[in-house]
Structure formats: structure tokens, C-alpha cells
Amino acid sequence: MISLKGLSKRYGDRMAVDELTLEVRPGAVTGFLGPNGAGKSTTMRMILGLDRPTAGTALIGGVPYHRIRYPLQKVGALLDARALHPGRSGHAHLVAMARSNGIARGRVAEVLETVGLGEAARKRAGALSLGMSQRLGIACALLGDPEVVMFDEPVNGLDPDGVRWVRHLMRSLADEGRTVFVSSHLMSEMQLTADHLVVLGKGRLILDAPLAEVIARSSLTAVVVRTPHAADLAVRLKAGGVAVERVGENELVATGVAIERVGDLAHEAGIRLHELRTREASLEQAYQELTASSVEYGAQKAGV
């Protein structure tokens, strides 16, 4: 488990991370979201001891990273797939990492097979494509068979098969009871993969909640009702405190209410329904609502 308490990082007069407190629990894929400059990468670097916090603590399994004797056996991370010597082969890099962390050399072949690098691992790292570098970085993260894995944009540069493979990998790691913490700007992938979401904006925690709850909170998530008595049902729903809009002769859209509540109100009024369903917002839509006031580096609209 990753535990952050009051974690802060200041650069001059700018607060990159501001009193962040949360727990990333095992057995789930936790998506780490936020606009550019929100503080996600800085947070991950502080967890791994690469940046010193201005205040607060970051613990992995109850201890700070620098106190873990063989850190690769506790936590594996991919923050920058290009962060290794370009003249060294991926295989040699993994062997060196294994030796430094008390990991059997045979594990190198295992992780290379897992990520599908094969003979490409014998090439110089500087000659690898971005996709191959990503696979090598994931191999490095998995090398110590760690309890905690952290990925920053793990599908960057991967083809569709590679993206699907990473998705299944993260799910399988979580299903094994590991802590999986992944930062990404790809909302479609997060919606398919994550169980839980942590959202930052301007260094502050905006939301820490299950994925389903995040989507349910969106104003674009609604209950769609089709009935030959739409006018009567609209009156009954409004009397029950439900925000409702009539979008057709026989169709209503209710927001901010559970589908069960709409069904109960219709039943109490003796109104026959032909359709009752939830229209869910996408994660991208829910995310944009959450972070609308936290975007620091937004581009102008086309044509402006």
C-alpha cells in the first residue's frame, strides 16, 4: 500500500503538490489523473525518493522508499522509459538491476518473456522504438516481483495490441493483490482499466473515489424514461424533488437521481413505463467537469 500524509512540494513561490493525503490500496488499479502541471509526476517522484518533500510523508508498505533494503523487491516503477544508458542493451540493464537488488538472474529472462521483447532486448537501448522502450521499462518495473507497481503513461508509444496487453497486465497484477498506481491522460483506457480514481488539480486533491462513483456524480449521467404518460410523470418527479426535462413527446431525462427512485415514483403514481435506463457519462466527460477550473495550460479553441 502507498500512504501519503500532508505531502507537499514547493518550487520557489509555486506549490506543485499541496498537502496531499490519500491511500492507494492493494487489489485494485488506481488511476491517477489531472491536467498537465497538476502535480502527478512530482507526487510519484516523491513516493520513490527522487524528489524531497517540502512537508509531509510518502510511505510504501509503512516505510519511506529510502529505507527499503532491496527496493525493487518492494516497488517497481516506470516513470520514464528512456531513462537508461542508450549504449547499454536492455538485457544488460536488467542484469545490473537484478544484481543490485538481490534478484536471481533467471528472473531477467522471465520478465523479458512477459513483456514480449525477445531478441530486441539485446539491442542498444538507444536504438529501441518508443514502444519497445515502454516494454523494457515495464520489464524493469516487474523485475523484483514487487507488491507495489507504479506506471506513468505506460501505453505511450504502444500499438493497439500493446495497449490491450498493458490493460490486461495491470488488471492481472491487481487481481493478484498488488497495489497498482497508474497515471494517464487516456480517459478511455482508464475507464476500461481502473477501479478507483485519484484526481489532482493545481497540486491539490480534487477527488478520491471509485470509478463508478465518479461517473455517477457527473451531471451528464442521467435516467432516461419513455412512457405514454410523460407529462404526468414529469409532474410527479418534480413533486418528488427530481430535476427532469422533457426531450420528446414520450421521453423524459432525469438528473441527479438514482434509477430506482424514478421507478418507485412512477410505480407510486400508477404510471406505465415503456423504458427505464441509465445514460452514463463517459469518464472523459466526468473528468472534464471535475477539472474545468484546474487547467493551467489550456490551448485556444480552433479558429480563435
- pLDDT tens per residue across span 185-241: 999 999 999 999 999 999 999 999 999 889 888 888 899 999 999 999 999 999 999
Give pTM, 2 decimals: 0.84
| H/E element, 241 | none
Tell me whether strands 196-201 and 28-33 are parallel, antiparallel or unpaired: parallel
**Looking at the domain assignment, is residue 6 inside a domain?**
yes
Supply the DSSP string of 258-275, one letter for each residue. Answer: -HHHHHHHHHHTT---SE
Q: Which three cell numbers stand for residue 170?
A: 495491470
Last residue of one domain, picked from the residues 148, 174, 209? 209
- 167 within 8 A of 138, measured Cβ to Cβ: no
pLDDT in tens, the chain (304 residues): 999 999 999 999 999 999 999 999 999 999 999 998 899 999 999 999 999 999 999 999 999 999 999 999 999 999 988 788 888 898 999 999 999 999 999 999 999 999 998 888 888 888 888 888 999 999 999 999 999 999 999 998 888 999 999 999 999 999 999 999 999 999 999 999 999 999 999 999 999 999 988 988 888 889 999 999 999 999 999 999 999 999 989 999 998 888 999 999 999 999 999 999 999 889 999 999 888 877 665 555 544 4
C-alpha span between 100 and 92 (Å, rounded): 12
**Looking at the domain assignment, is residue 214 inside a domain?**
no
Residue among 264, 271, 282 nearest 226 (CA): 271
- 183 within 8 A of 44, measured Cβ to Cβ: yes
Alpha carbon distances (Å) from 62 to 3, 67, 297 = 7, 10, 35
pLDDT at 297: 54
One domain for residues 56 and 86: yes
**Looking at the domain assignment, is residue 128 inside a domain?**
yes
Alpha carbon distances (Å) from 207 to 7, 93, 108, 131, 149 = 16, 38, 38, 31, 21
One domain for residues 32 and 119: yes
**Looking at the domain assignment, is residue 286 inside a domain?**
no
Query: How many separate domains does the chain show?
Result: 2
Q: How many CB atoms lie within 10 A of CB 210?
A: 13
One domain for residues 126 and 46: yes
C-alpha span between 116 and 110 (Å, rounded): 10
One domain for residues 203 and 241: no
| Domain of residue 20, CATH code | 3.40.50.300
Contacts of 75 (CB under 8 A, 6+ apart): 48, 60, 65, 68, 146, 147, 148, 149, 150
Range of the domain at 259: 222-279
One domain for residues 93 and 242: no
Q: What is the largest CA-CA distance in the chain?
A: 75
C-alpha span between 218 and 204 (Å, rounded): 20
One domain for residues 233 and 189: no
- pLDDT tens per residue across span 236-252: 999 999 999 999 899 99
Alpha carbon distances (Å) from 29 to 67, 84, 166, 175 = 25, 27, 12, 9
Residue among 154, 136, 146 nearest 103 (CA): 146
Q: Which long-range contacts (CB under 8 A, 24 or more apart) does 184-189 make?
A: 184/31, 184/32, 184/33, 184/153, 184/154, 184/155, 185/33, 185/153, 186/155, 187/33, 187/282, 187/283, 187/284, 187/287, 188/282, 188/283, 188/284, 189/155, 189/163
